[in-house]
């Protein structure tokens, strides 16, 4: 399967369409792709779209960001919304929730509706780990049972020759209401993505078959409203008051309770050790107590991060996005400058070649070369000139392309600023629209 690198302008166009900054036709479909880090979201999207984005050079500079990738399939312009995964060592689950909630609420407030959800799970996992179970619970709270008929669970990482083990895990997950059972009972589909080692074309067919099934699934209910969107945009709740936020707070509360208990236990053990004059044990317990206190402070910080309003989420994501766009702008400006410098040199060389050709032609005539030799020299000279002309033409196209990319980046910066105003204004009552718009406008000085 040949993969194509998507241009920045196309990335930005897809992203703006999802954020409601570009008009969409009736054939536009938005599928949200969710799952833990390592579940195969990027691979699935790559197989569906035939596109690849170099890490660190696109709008999605790393897996911590949300990105949109589109392709045409069965008369539909399908957009796959790639979300950051949970259980990422470089990104907390709270930060992941804030990123997803921020973009989904802004998009919803601007009139864009999700059509379906793809939830990916590694069937190769021996069991649903603590982090995997937390991720699944969070998904259920984020979505609500209303949207499960528009959801397909895709199981990935099937190993050749180990289907019996995978099928056993699949049955366990499907029959347990705490795992996939309630999703399937609520109308969700379950689909196996081709096993590893079957080849890129087989993987592509399998991924597209899942999309085909989901397209049929969503015909009954073409548009869905996720619980997080309704709560934040319609009900005006802060993130910590949403069902997903409460789920995250539950995990934090359990951790804080556990750490507080450990700190109290360490304190009592330290007193016993000091009374027994066991200084070594007392020192070890002091170190353990400090570590627990540090973790407790971090848990409190995570809890505080959930106390964020819709407007603050939009501001936060706008700041992050503009910062990425600024970096992309600098990179493309540098590339454009280098290509323009190279183009000037090539055009100067081409002009010198033309002048030299005229000098050579005059010299050949003076030398009274025979017709065959003269024709040979002219042909070589013409081929050299033609090759240089083609190189110049190709480089000119690259310069035009870079200017187009820079134009798209600049246009998106404006759209991001406009979107944060529209996204908030569309999600609140008319009585507070003017006040919130004024607050957001005031914050734009910070964003840029």
For the stretch 323-378, pLDDT in tens is 888 888 898 899 899 999 999 998 998 898 888 888 888 887 777 777 788 788 88
At 53 the pLDDT is 53
At 91 the pLDDT is 60
Residue 435, pLDDT above cutoff 50: no
Tell me the two tokens of residue 358: 């005229």
At 69 the pLDDT is 92
Q: State the residue for tokens 């780990």.
A: 129
At 104 the pLDDT is 92
**Range with lowest mean pLDDT among 130-144, 261-275, 277-291, 298-312:** 298-312
Where is mean pLDDT largest: 122-126, 163-167, 183-187?
183-187
| Across 105-119, average pLDDT | 93
Grade residue 92 by pLDDT with cuts at 50, 70 and 90: confident
pLDDT tens digit sequence for 286-334? 888 888 888 878 777 767 766 666 667 667 777 777 888 888 889 889 9
Pairing of strands 116-122, 151-156: parallel
CA dihedral 10, 16, 19, 24 (to 10 degrees): -90
At 441 the pLDDT is 29
Task: Report residue 95: phi and psi, to 5°.
Answer: -65, -40
Look at residues 251, 223, 249, 225 and name the one whose alpha carbon lies nearest to residue 238. Answer: 249
At 170 the pLDDT is 92
Q: Beta-carbon neighbour count of residue 284 at 10 Å?
A: 15
Tell me the two tokens of residue 357: 């050709």
At 127 the pLDDT is 65
| Across 105-134, average pLDDT | 86
| Across 244-260, average pLDDT | 78
| Across 187-193, average pLDDT | 94
Task: Please state, for a pLDDT cut of 70, what percent of the chain lies above it.
Answer: 82
């Amino acid at each position: 399967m040949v993969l194509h690198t998507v241009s920045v302008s196309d990335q930005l166009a897809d992203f703006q369409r999802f954020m409601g900054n570009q008009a969409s036709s009736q054939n536009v479909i938005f599928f949200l792709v969710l799952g833990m880090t390592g579940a195969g979201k990027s691979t699935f999207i790559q197989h569906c779209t035939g596109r690849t984005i170099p890490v660190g050079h696109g709008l999605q500079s790393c897996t911590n960001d949300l990105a949109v990738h589109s392709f045409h399939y069965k008369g539909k312009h399908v957009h796959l919304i790639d979300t950051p995964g949970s259980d990422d060592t470089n990104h907390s689950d709270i930060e992941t929730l804030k990123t997803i909630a921020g973009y989904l609420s802004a998009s919803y407030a601007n009139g864009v509706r999700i059509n379906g959800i793809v939830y990916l799970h590694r069937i190769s996992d021996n069991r649903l780990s603590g982090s995997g179970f937390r991720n699944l619970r969070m998904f259920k709270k984020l979505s609500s049972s209303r949207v499960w008929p528009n959801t397909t669970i895709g199981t990935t990482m099937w190993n050749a020759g180990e289907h019996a083990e995978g099928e056993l895990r699949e049955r366990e997950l499907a029959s347990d209401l705490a795992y996939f059972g309630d999703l399937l009972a609520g109308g969700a589909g379950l689909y196996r993505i081709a096993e590893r080692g079957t080849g890129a074309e087989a993987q592509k067919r399998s991924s597209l078959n899942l999309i085909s099934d989901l397209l049929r699934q969503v015909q009954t209910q073409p548009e869905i409203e996720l619980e997080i969107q309704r709560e934040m945009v319609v009900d005006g709740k802060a993130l910590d008051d949403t069902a997903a936020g409460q789920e995250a707070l539950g995990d934090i509360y359990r951790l804080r309770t556990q750490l507080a208990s450990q700190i109290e236990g360490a304190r009592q053990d330290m007193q016993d050790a000091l009374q027994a004059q066991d200084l070594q044990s007392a020192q070890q317990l002091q170190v353990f107590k400090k570590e627990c206190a540090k973790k407790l402070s971090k848990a409190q910080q995570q809890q505080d991060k959930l106390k964020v309003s819709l407007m603050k989420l939009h501001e936060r994501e706008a700041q992050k996005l503009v910062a990425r766009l600024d970096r992309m702008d600098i990179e493309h400006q540098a590339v454009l400058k280098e290509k323009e410098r190279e183009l000037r040199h090539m055009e100067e060389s081409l002009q010198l070649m033309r002048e030299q050709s005229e000098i050579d032609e005059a010299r050949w005539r003076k030398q009274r070369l025979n017709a065959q030799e003269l024709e040979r020299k002219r042909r070589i000279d013409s081929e050299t000139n033609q090759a240089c002309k083609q190189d110049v033409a190709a480089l000119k196209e690259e310069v035009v392309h870079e200017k187009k990319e820079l134009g798209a980046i600049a246009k998106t910066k404006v759209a991001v600023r406009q979107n944060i105003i529209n996204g908030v204004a569309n999600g609140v009552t008319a009585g507070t629209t003017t006040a919130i718009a004024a607050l957001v406008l005031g914050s734009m000085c910070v964003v840029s």
